[in-house]
Amino acid sequence: MKSLRGVGPVQSVLWAIALVVLIVLPFTSAPFRVEQYITWMTIAVAAGGLNLLTGYNGQISVGHGALYGTGAYTVAILVTDAEWPLLPTVIAAAVVCFMVGVIIGLPALRIKGLYLALVTLAVATLFPLVIEQFSDLTGGSGGLTLTSEQLYRGSIRDRRVKWESPIDGLASDQWKYFIFLGISIVCFVVIAAIVKSRVGRSLVAIRDNETAAEVSGINVSRTKIITFGVSAGIAGIGGAMFALNKGQVNPTSFTLTLSIYLLVAVVLGGASTVIGPAIGAVIYGVFIDVIAPELPETLESATPLILGTLLVAQMLMAPSGIVGWFHDLTEKVSRRRQGGGKQDKNVDVTVTTHEVVAETDLETDPGGFHP
């Protein structure tokens, strides 16, 4: 059984392939594609953060697009107005979003499920309006272009944030790709560490059985609030990466659609699996950026319909997402392959079930006093 949960041979091979693909990809793709890959990474990171909250902790948020946007605007303002160097703004975005997340999460102490979803939905809907309202700081509906006088001199055009590669033979988009890939990997390693830890267990305990969590000494309210904050912080890092990648932010980038995109990435890839949201984000990205533009023009308006149909199909065939489906598959295969010992145990378990059924059938007298 132990091997089932550890990394099996199939998984190791898949991980190795994924790593090779991630390294080779920027060298075999056109620069505009590499930009798109980075966008998928930002979505993957934000979806990974959302997954902590919605997948592991069971708190549904339809508002993480707003937190992603908050991260993006934090970076844009810090770089352009406060003249911060680029990478520290990512950490600042995480901190700001953590605090915003804690505040948005406060209602979660009283409400959950659909009601919480509605509150976060309101946050997502209001975010672009709030940004437009504070146009002095945010540039309003025109958005903000990230410029840095400290880093780059010359005309406005020259002062735009860019990523110059310090390594010969590595183009700037490739350099940027690897920096952002590094940030993304760090985010997912942190998520994995949390999920496998004492805190991760308490997240799932709260999701599945609040009473069990409470009597085991887990502070349910505090954990829920901090999870909201941490999840928001990670979504903010995704947004920060978005701003640094595009070099500009605009309220139309952070609408409700983005929040739903994040949820779709989580569910499609596999909620409460570490890597699921990343896979979901990539699949969605491939569909929108690679497949959809290739479709014949007559089908263009039908793209949402195609996507919707695919999602329905996924919910029917693999409700636990792609990673969940894959786990079930490998478990089934290894169970069949191991045969002998495992088979015995299965038989054993079924026997006990029958006995229990028999036992409960017998003991039907409610008082049960047998002196």
Partner 1 sequence: MPILEVDDIGVRFGGVRALDGLSFDVDKGQICALIGPNGAGKTTLFNVVSRLYKPTTGTVVFDGTDLLSVPADQIADLGIARTFQNLALVQGLSVLDNVKVGSHARSHGGFWSCALYFPQRAEEKRITAEAMEMLERIGLADLADHPCSALPFGTLKRIELARALASEPRLLMLDEPASGLTHQEVDELGDLIRTTTADLGITVLLVEHHMAMVMSLSEKVVVMDLGSKIAEGTPAEVRDDPMVISAYLGAPA
Q: Where are the alpha helices (DSSP H) in 155-299?
A: 156-159, 172-195, 198-208, 210-215, 220-246, 256-269, 276-285, 292-294
Name which of residues 144 to 163 contact partner 1 (CB under 8 A): none
The contacts of residue 65 (CB under 8 Å, 6+ apart) are 124, 127, 254, 255, 256, 257, 258, 259, 260, 261, 262
Name which of residues 254 to 273 contact partner 1 (CB under 8 A): 272
The Cα–Cα gap between 319 and 306 comes to 18
**Contact code string over 185-204 relative to partner 1, x by CB under 8 A:** -----x--xx--xxxxxx-x
Q: How far is the CB of 4 from partner 1 (least distance, A)?
A: 6
Contacts with partner 1 by CB under 8 A: the residue count is: 45
Cα–Cα nearest to 247, from 163, 154, 304, 309: 163
**Helices and strands of the chain, counted as H and E runs:** 18, 2
- Kindly state whether residue 5 participates in binding partner 1, applying the rule CB under 8 A: yes
E strand map for the chain: 144-145, 248-249
- Kindly state whether residue 181 participates in binding partner 1, applying the rule CB under 8 A: no
Backbone angles phi, psi at 196, to 5 degrees: -85, 0
- Kindly state whether residue 293 participates in binding partner 1, applying the rule CB under 8 A: no
How many other β-carbons are positioned within 10 Å of the β-carbon of residue 255?
17
Q: How far is the CB of 200 from partner 1 (least distance, A)?
A: 7
Nearer to partner 1, 198 or 337 (CB): 198
The Cα–Cα gap between 205 and 281 comes to 27
Q: How far is the CB of 320 from partner 1 (least distance, A)?
A: 11
Q: Which of 129, 167, 339, 369 binds partner 1 (CB under 8 A)?
A: 369
Name which of residues 98 to 117 contact partner 1 (CB under 8 A): none
Instruction: Extract the tokens encoding 331.
Output: 């478990």
Name which of residues 205 to 234 contact partner 1 (CB under 8 A): 205, 207-209, 211-220, 226, 230
- List residues binding partner 1 (CB under 8 A): 1-2, 4-5, 190, 193-194, 197-202, 204-205, 207-209, 211-220, 226, 230, 272, 345, 349, 352-353, 355-356, 359-360, 366-371
